[in-house]
Amino acid sequence: PLISIAAIAATFSMDVMMGEYKKECLQERLGDIDEISKHLSSTINDFRYFYKPDKKKKTVKSEEVLQKSLGMIVASLINHKIEVIEEYNSKEEIELYDSEMIQVILNILMNAQDNLKEKQIKDPYIKITTENTTISICDNGGGIPEEIIEKIFDPYFTTKDEGQGTGIGLHMSKMIIEDHMSGELSVNNTQDGAIFKITI
């Protein structure tokens, strides 16, 4: 969310510098920042109560949660010219902690964005598909080296430069899906890149 806010501010600043300022555009971007800020505030509260036993699950369609997640990061993806391909084939409702699921999806999307940006992939994309109770997120970033793919869910394991990653994001994501929601989070390589699958 913070990266998305920074991206919105940067693009608006550029518009002002180039004399392309429009009142309608300003109002829209301020609205985006407001929505993202509300989500960030909610996220802080979610993690404050992360281990509370009295949380309630919601019954929603996976598409709804994906749309909320994309809304938090879309400005950053556009800023980095990353295409998002959406194929929603499931109308099933699933029971989950929606705020925690959003955190998992955001983490996977941010990792994909960082990888595509770091490798300077030509025509980068992230593809999101749903099938029954499974959400798949893949990219064309070349995949994860086979020698480390088994370790990426380990706590404090990171492929990012020092200071750029903590190595707890994917570990926490796996814990959310498998321990909190009795689901499964897995990763494999495809011909073009990595694919993360979430099954509830």
Tens digits of pLDDT across the chain (200 residues): 787 888 888 888 888 888 777 778 788 888 888 878 877 776 676 566 555 555 688 899 999 999 988 887 887 888 889 999 999 999 899 998 888 898 899 999 999 998 999 999 999 999 999 999 999 999 999 999 998 898 888 887 666 544 444 456 888 899 999 998 999 999 999 999 999 999 99
Residue 127's identity, in one-letter code, is K
Residue 42's identity, in one-letter code, is S
| DSSP classification of residue 153 | T
Distance between CA atoms of residues 124 and 81, nearest Å: 7
Report field, pTM of the whole predicted structure over 0.75: no
Give the number of other Cβ atoms within 10 Å of residue 101's Cβ: 27
Helix axes 23-48, 62-79, angle to 10 degrees: 120
Structure tokens at 99: 């705020």
Residue 62's identity, in one-letter code, is S
Tokens 């990888």 found at: 115
